[in-house]
């Protein structure tokens, strides 16, 4: 079965007939369309076949082989006990199976989401999951709202350079945080700068056992992963069945590299500890709580010994995390999803993806999952395993559940150095330094933004890095909104042109510009404001017009608003501005002036008045 045969998830929007025909459809048909859009599973499940299941089963198993070791490892980054990585790995694929519009996307714990979780829960107690679960719950809620209110456009404001710098900074931060486990160092602080300093400062405390194991794992991972993408150079030649099986095996071996390394590492350490019980000194993961997490609403307060935190305090500590985490989660997922959707020729429904992710996070928080997102490595494995529908995730989820019940006693023997190796070899692929050279050649301002984001991520933490990056990259977009081009035609009377309308950021500048010009270059008794390009006046803009008129009146200067739409005119009339004058066109305004003031029409007289 080839890729082309796989189930095409056509977004229901495209299935909907023209509005005209829709009216004639029976209500039942309408409901069906609605269900297909809101629950994409309704679209593909009726056609689900045994063949699809075979493919999904293999893919689901393969992904599970990766998510189990990754989950255990990523939970460490999130500062949570290892089992939380598994808690975060089963609910999201279940939910995604119902709501998702991509067969490839694999939701679950990711390195970046794990780092974000610990960044925003830093003032929480170590190993306490309350803050992380609140984060998942609220972030999910916000993602759901973003889906329902079509706020997806917000993610466009994270530019390529900012995202790249953020990802690189996150990868370096995460990668370096694991170096201490490779060297078996203890008591290294968390924040990046101190972490780097103390890792080097304590190198003489290296635990040789951990170090040899860790380095071996990193090297093994590097080579084993290569099996996944061996180029056999004989694509056109026929291959034998045994060749085919051998190749498939090598691919699977490469794909399950993480699991292979962990299993080998556990076996070796276990053997060595038994042979040299006095000498061998590996750092192991330690006890892992076995069994399934409870199903319940997350706690919204922390009480542990002397330490208590109210909901308000936790929320205030998380702060902008409630905004950043859902956004980053969506960006991660959409970036991966889109690239596979294009490759495999189907279309993602962005709104529905937001709903799927939001629901996955909300329901995840009920089973002790911290915030999840689309994982790049596992999505790639899923796609390469020829997954056919999101049901592959259900298989993954069940394997994780079984592992939680059955394998937990074994997990405690996993050496931390092996998990650190898994993390390091995962995040190293996220670093893209090519972009620096490209931006240098193409657009140096982008390079500037890139480095600001990168440096502030290292110095202040990635959560501030991305905020600062977004902020700075918005400057060139916002500036023209607050400093629009205001043209003054030095005719008699002078005509003021607003090329881009008048919105609140421009209001203050508009006010200042007019008043400045009256005090310096313009001398007139009447001013015409050409309002044809004003589509909507907001409160701030109306107040500015009011202030200008109030400033002009004592100087006997009058502002005539020309060509304003009736609706906007009514708004101004509501403001009860004395001396407010309207006209339909510049010509009629000029006539109006000459009728009202047959005597005053020379600039000299106006000048006299203004200088009074």
17 is a site residue for a second copy (CB under 8 A)? no
| Closest CB to a second copy among residues 159, 385 | 159
Tell me which of 81, 461, 469, 494 binds a second copy, using CB under 8 A: 461
The secondary structure element, H or E, covering residue 560 is strand 558-562
d(CA 48, CA 145): 31
DSSP reduced 3-state for 99: helix
State the burial class of residue 273 (Cβ atoms within 10 Å of its Cβ: 0-12, 13-18, 19+).
middle
- Tell me the closest approach of the beta carbon of residue 153 to a second copy, in angstroms: 4
- Tell me the closest approach of the beta carbon of residue 90 to a second copy, in angstroms: 31
What are the backbone dihedrals phi and psi of residue 479, each rounded to the nearest 5 degrees, phi first?
-50, -50
446 is a site residue for a second copy (CB under 8 A)? yes
d(CA 211, CA 426): 19
Sign of CA dihedral 292, 297, 298, 303: negative
d(CA 498, CA 486): 5
- Tell me the closest approach of the beta carbon of residue 571 to a second copy, in angstroms: 4
Buried b (16+ CB within 10 A) or exposed e, 106-122: bbbbbbbbbbbbbbbbe
Tell me which of 201, 245, 246, 481 binds a second copy, using CB under 8 A: 481
Q: Provide the pairing of β-strand 495-498 with 558-562.
A: unpaired
479 is a site residue for a second copy (CB under 8 A)? yes
46 Cβ contact list (under 8 Å, min separation 6): none
Tell me which of 8, 123, 491, 584 binds a second copy, using CB under 8 A: 123
Stretch that binds a second copy, among 17-25, 40-48, 55-63, 502-510 (CB under 8 A): 502-510
Tell me which of 8, 229, 301, 443 binds a second copy, using CB under 8 A: 443
Per-residue x/- marks for a second copy, 31-60, CB under 8 A? Answer: ------------------------------
Tell me which of 538, 553, 601, 607 binds a second copy, using CB under 8 A: 538
- Of 503, 486, 484, the C-alpha closest to 494 is 486
- Tell me the closest approach of the beta carbon of residue 432 to a second copy, in angstroms: 12
577 is a site residue for a second copy (CB under 8 A)? no
Interactions with a second copy, residue window 181-200 (CB under 8 A): 191
Beta bridge partners of 489: 495
- Tell me the closest approach of the beta carbon of residue 235 to a second copy, in angstroms: 17
- Tell me the closest approach of the beta carbon of residue 169 to a second copy, in angstroms: 16
308 is a site residue for a second copy (CB under 8 A)? no
| Closest CB to a second copy among residues 49, 482 | 482
d(CA 412, CA 186): 18
442 is a site residue for a second copy (CB under 8 A)? yes
- Tell me the closest approach of the beta carbon of residue 209 to a second copy, in angstroms: 33
DSSP reduced 3-state for 155: helix
Start-end of H helices in 183-207: 192-201
606, 600 contact by CB (below 8 A): yes
374 is a site residue for a second copy (CB under 8 A)? no
d(CA 113, CA 365): 14
Q: What is the binding site for a second copy (CB under 8 A)?
A: 14, 122-123, 151, 153-157, 159-161, 191, 312-313, 315-317, 319-320, 323, 342, 347, 435, 438-439, 441-443, 445-446, 460-461, 464, 467, 471, 473, 475, 477-479, 481-483, 503-509, 515-516, 519-520, 536-540, 542-543, 551, 571, 574-575
């Amino acid at each position: 079965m080839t890729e082309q045969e796989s189930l095409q998830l056509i977004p229901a929007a495209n299935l909907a007939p023209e509005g005209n025909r829709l009216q004639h459809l029976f209500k039942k048909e309408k409901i069906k369309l609605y269900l297909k859009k809101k629950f994409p599973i309704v679209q593909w499940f009726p056609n689900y076949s045994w063949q699809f299941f075979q493919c999904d089963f293999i893919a689901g198993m393969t992904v599970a082989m990766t998510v189990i070791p990754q989950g255990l490892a990523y939970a460490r980054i999130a500062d949570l006990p290892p089992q939380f990585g598994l808690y975060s790995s089963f609910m999201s694929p279940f939910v995604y199976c119902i709501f998702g519009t991509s067969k490839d996307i694999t939701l679950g714990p990711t390195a970046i989401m794990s780092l974000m979780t610990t960044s925003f829960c830093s003032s929480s107690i170590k190993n306490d999951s309350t803050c992380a679960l609140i984060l998942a719950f609220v972030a999910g809620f916000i993602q759901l709202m973003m889906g329902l209110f079509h706020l997806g456009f917000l993610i466009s404001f994270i530019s390529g350079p900012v995202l790249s710098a953020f990802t690189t900074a996150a990868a370096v931060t995460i990668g370096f945080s694991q170096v201490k486990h490779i060297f078996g160092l203890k008591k290294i602080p968390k924040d990046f700068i101190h972490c780097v300093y103390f890792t080097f400062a304590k190198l003489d405390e290296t635990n040789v056992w951990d170090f040899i194991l860790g380095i071996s794992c990193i090297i093994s991972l590097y080579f084993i992963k290569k099996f996944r993408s061996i180029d056999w150079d004989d694509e056109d030649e026929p291959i034998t069945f045994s060749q085919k099986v051998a190749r498939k095996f090598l691919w699977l071996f490469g794909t399950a590299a993480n699991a292979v390394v962990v299993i080998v590492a556990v076996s070796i350490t276990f053997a060595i500890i038994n042979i040299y019980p006095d000498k061998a000194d590996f750092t192991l993961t330690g006890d892992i709580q076995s069994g399934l997490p409870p199903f319940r609403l997350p706690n919204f307060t922390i009480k542990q010994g002397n330490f208590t935190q109210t909901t308000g305090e936790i929320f205030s500590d998380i702060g902008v995390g409630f905004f950043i985490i859902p956004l980053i989660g969506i960006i991660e997922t959409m970036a991966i999803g889109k690239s596979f959707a294009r490759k495999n020729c189907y279309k993602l429904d962005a709104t529905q993806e937001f709903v799927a992710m939001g629901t996955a996070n909300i329901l995840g928080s009920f089973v002790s999952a911290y915030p999840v997102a689309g994982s790049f490595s596992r999505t790639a494995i899923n796609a390469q395993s020829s997954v056919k529908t999101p049901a592959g995730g259900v298989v993954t989820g069940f394997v994780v559940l079984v592992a939680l019940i059955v394998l937990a006693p074994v997990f405690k023997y996993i050496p931390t150095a092996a998990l650190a190796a898994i993390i390091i070899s995962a995040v190293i692929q996220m670093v893209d330094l090519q972009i620096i050279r490209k931006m240098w050649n193409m657009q140096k301002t982008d390079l500037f933004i890139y480095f600001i984001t990168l440096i502030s991520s290292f110095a202040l933490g990635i959560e501030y890095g991305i905020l600062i990056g977004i902020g700075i990259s918005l400057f060139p977009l916002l500036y023209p909104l607050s400093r629009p081009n205001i043209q003054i035609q030095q005719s008699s009377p002078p005509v003021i042109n607003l090329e881009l309308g008048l919105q609140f950021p421009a209001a203050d500048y508009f006010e200042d510009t007019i008043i400045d010009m009256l005090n310096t270059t313009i001398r007139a008794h009447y001013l015409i404001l050409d309002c044809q390009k004003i589509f909507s006046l907001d409160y701030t803009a109306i107040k500015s017009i009011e202030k200008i008129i109030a400033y002009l009146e004592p100087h006997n200067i009058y502002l005539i608003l020309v060509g304003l739409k009736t609706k906007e005119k009514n708004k101004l009339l509501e403001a009860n501005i004395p001396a407010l004058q309207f006209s339909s066109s510049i010509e009629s305004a000029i006539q109006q002036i000459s009728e009202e003031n047959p005597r005053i029409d020379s600039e000299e007289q106006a000048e006299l008045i203004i200088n009074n």
